[in-house]
Structure 1
Amino acid sequence: MTSASGTLFDRLVLAARIVLGVFYLLSGLNWFFGFIPMLPHVGMPADLRIKHMLVVEMINTGWFFQAAKIMEIAFGVSLLANRAVPLLLAATLPVAFITFMLDALILDDIARWLGGTQDTPALLAAVADMIVGGLCVLLPHLWLMLCYRDYYRPAFAWRASPQWGGQPAEPGLLPEHPLARPAGFRPGRALILFGGFAVLLQIYNLYLFVSMIRLG
């Protein structure tokens, strides 16, 4: 990679880790401390409106939603400290995907708009919710996984043999430094543009998220 593109790539990876890490850390901690009162938290009033029934059911299990929030905290710390990032990216991908899907299912809104029972501002609000509520989180998550792709290549071995008892892995499959920067990757212009777009979306999402914080 050229020096300029390499430097820009490294800065984008750092920016993505920071903004996504801060978002996940705040999202997880809010469940326990409730500094964003309009979002679900331990001390929320019984009449707090929760938009998605799936979230209600997860909370009602007594552990499912809490486990997801603990994972978010661990992931946020991982991203900010640059430790075990590839592992936590893979482990929390279902959380990011479910977050996106909860806001991405707008077919009913489109059908109501086409049928004349929903006005255009309401449809645009649903689209904005899809972008801000889910896509802003999922895109940088997927982009970071793409940047760390060399760490996942061994998992896609078509015919794998067990590696146990100190046996060396197949040469060339594993990066030498599992906690270092993305290895063996040559970013093209499309990847850098995708990363820049994903980071900008998440910065905007984080701004909206932080603006909802109420202390005291």
Structure 2
Amino acid sequence: MKIAVLIARILLGLTFVVFGLNFFFNFIHMPQPVMSEKAQAFSGGLFGSGYFFQYMKVIEITSGLAILFNRYTAFFLLILFPVSVNIFLFHTILAPAGIPMALAIIVLHVFLGIAYRKYYASIFTAVPVV
């Protein structure tokens, strides 16, 4: 199990670091996939905000590095979970060409969430006592 968690952690961390850095430095030249009108409108709105993608990519890079170096991993998995879900839903609903990568990201993320579940136990306390 430890080896599977290590491999999943490295794959997920590298994915977020590499694609986050690629946003800023464009070292992986990927052709723009054909997207539906709704997908273009969604992406255009996020890009049009002028800050959202930059902010998200910085979070992806820092979280990915923390996951790679196994520092505050449970915390950064929690931070990245909404990003992974959004990637999965975007490609499932609006841009199906990216489903394989989106599926890999969500599977790795859920697997790591299960592996680190003991660190999340206190979050799911219904009535916390102070």
TM-score, normalization: structure 1?
0.54
Greater share of helix residues, 1 or 2?
2
* Of 104, 107, 110, the match for 2:92: 104
Residue 134 of structure 1: how far off its partner (Å): 1.0
Aligned counterpart, 1:16: 8
Task: Answer yes or no: is the 8 Å Cα contact 1:22–1:76 preserved in 2.
Answer: yes
State the aligned residue count: 126
Mapped to 2, the partners of 1:56 and 1:88 lie a distance apart of: 27
Q: CA RMSD in A?
A: 2.0
Q: Indicate whether 1:80 and 2:71 are aligned.
A: no
Identity percentage over the alignment?
Answer: 31
Gaps of 5+ in 1: 1-8, 40-47, 107-125, 163-216
Task: Answer yes or no: is the 8 Å Cα contact 1:24–1:72 preserved in 2.
Answer: yes
Mapped to 1, the partners of 2:8 and 2:56 lie a distance apart of: 21
Q: Deviations over 1:37-66 (max 9, x none)?
A: 336xxxxxxxx6773322221111111111
3-state SS of the aligned residue for 2:65?
helix
Residues 82 and 24 of structure 1, relative CA distance in 2, 3 Å threshold: same
Q: Indicate whether 1:155 and 2:123 are aligned.
A: yes
3-state SS of the aligned residue for 1:136?
helix
Aligned counterpart, 1:129: 98
Bigger relative contact order, structure 1 or 2, given CA contacts below 8 A and separation 6+? 2
Residues 129 and 32 of structure 1, relative CA distance in 2, 3 Å threshold: closer
User: Which residue identity lines up with residue 24 of structure 2 in the other structure?
Assistant: F
Whichever of the two has the greater Rg, that structure is: 1
3-state SS of the aligned residue for 2:10?
helix
TM-score, normalization: structure 2?
0.87
